[in-house]
Amino acid sequence: MRIFQVINVRWFNATAWYAITLSKLLADAGHDVLVLTQAGTQSEAAAREAGLRTVAVDLNTTNPVRFAGAARHIIQLLRTHRPDIVDCHRGEGFFLWGLLKLFGFHYRLVRTRGDQRPPRSDALNRWLHAGVADAVVVTNRRMADYFLHRMRTPGHGVWLIHGGVDTAKFHFDQAGRERVREEFGFGPDNMVVGLLGRFDRVKGHKETIEAVAELRGRGMDNIRLFLIGFDTAMTSDQIKTHIRDAGIEDITRISGRRDDVAACISALDVGVVASLWSEAIARSALEIMAAERPLVSTDVGVMPDLVDPAVLVKPGDVQTLAEAVGAVAGDGGLREQVMAAQKRTMSQLTLDEFLKRTLNLYQSLVDGD
């Protein structure tokens, strides 16, 4: 198939990761994939690093003259490449793709929503998603319910396709575990709790720090905290302020930027996703579970689709988060239950499954011509 993946995403966030990972899988499977990006963005750089063909089109502009230029550029691309599928991963420019389809360009239009912000449920948006788009891909059940009930999108037009994880890269690494634990001073008897994610308020570092401090205050002397990440929206100094305020500087380590993320994850005994909102795709959660680390999580976004209900907590609830982490650390039966549930979940979330489910959608649309 000839496929346009429209990734006009400025940052290399979860939406961009989902889109670029999918584009790479499709290209490696022999499909003709062209990635449309915003010039000079992190997502464009990531697509090029993945070896994908990219074309920069300014779909995010609010300048009428520039937008008209972008429209002319797209029309030229459509005439040159004649794609079977156009898959839009952002809302900016989606109306234009719908308009061009109505004007007679022959392609199937897919809107993939890899973020947790629901679209406005107005008449125009409902028509665009249900009457013009051939399918809407969502990455979690909550968003599927929104499209089915609020957007009134027909059931056959809504496809739930979770992202996948590279299990060749992310798996439990015993040697890496021992090396990283020694590097950061974690002993064999330490219970290492870890959060993997960019330094950003949304990720709940503060709440995780406070939960670990709570457990230490309850007498869990062997607990340690490992924050796997580096400066982004928040700095290490801001994170360290939270650590100092909680009084756990002596038992906390920050990884900084690493090339051996899988080994760092393997060094954990309990993984945490403490996000306050978002997590429509939850890349870090998939990587933690692929490395066979039991995961405790807040119940935001896609997390109820992935995590055993026994270890789901409300966002921002430090006490309950501490109790859940303590329970997984200390209750062998609960730990086995969580691990068994994760194993079932991960069997459906490989890259092969990600590609297969997307191709099932694309092929059904093309066969419907």
Question: Which one, of 163, 239, 237, lies nearest residue 201 by Cα?
Answer: 239
- State the DSSP code for 192: E
Pick the CATH number of 174-346 from 3.40.50.2000, 3.30.428.10, 3.90.45.10, 1.20.1740.10: 3.40.50.2000
pLDDT, position 369: 65
Would you kindly state where each structural domain of the chain is located, as residue ranges? 2-164+350-367, 174-346
Q: Residue 261: is its pLDDT beyond 70?
A: yes
Q: Are 28 and 21 in contact (CB under 8 A)?
A: no
Residue of 146, 131, 107 whose CA lies nearest to 362 = 107
For 30, phi then psi, to 5°, come to: 100, 5
Q: Which of 354, 357, 355, 349 is nearest to 170 (CA)?
A: 349
pLDDT single digits (tens) 313-359? 999 999 999 999 999 999 999 999 999 999 999 999 999 999 999 99
Query: What pTM, to 2 d.p., does this model score?
Result: 0.92
CATH class for the region spanning 2-164+350-367: alpha beta
Per-residue pLDDT reduced to its tens digit, 3-61: 999 999 998 988 999 999 999 999 999 999 999 999 999 999 999 999 999 999 999 99
pLDDT at 368 over 90: no
Equal CATH topology for 2-164+350-367 and 174-346: yes
Q: What single letter denotes the amino acid at residue 314?
A: K
Helices (H), ranges, the chain: 14-28, 42-49, 64-81, 94-102, 123-127, 141-149, 174-183, 205-217, 236-246, 261-266, 283-290, 303-306, 318-330, 332-346, 351-367
Q: What percent of the chain has pLDDT over 70?
A: 100
Tokens found for residue 368: 């419907």
**Any bridge partners for residue 254, and if so which?**
227
Show Cβ contacts of residue 247 under 8 Å, excluding neighbours closer than 6 positions. Answer: 213
Q: What is the pLDDT of residue 109?
A: 98
pLDDT at position 222 over 80: yes
- With beta carbons less than 8 A apart as the criterion, state whether 350 and 162 touch: no
Tell me, what amino acid is at 287? Answer: E
Instruction: Report whether 24 contacts 51 (CB < 8 A).
Output: yes
Token digits of residue 104: 């007679």
pLDDT above 70 for 243: yes
For residue 33, what pLDDT is reported? 98
pLDDT beyond 90 at 168: yes
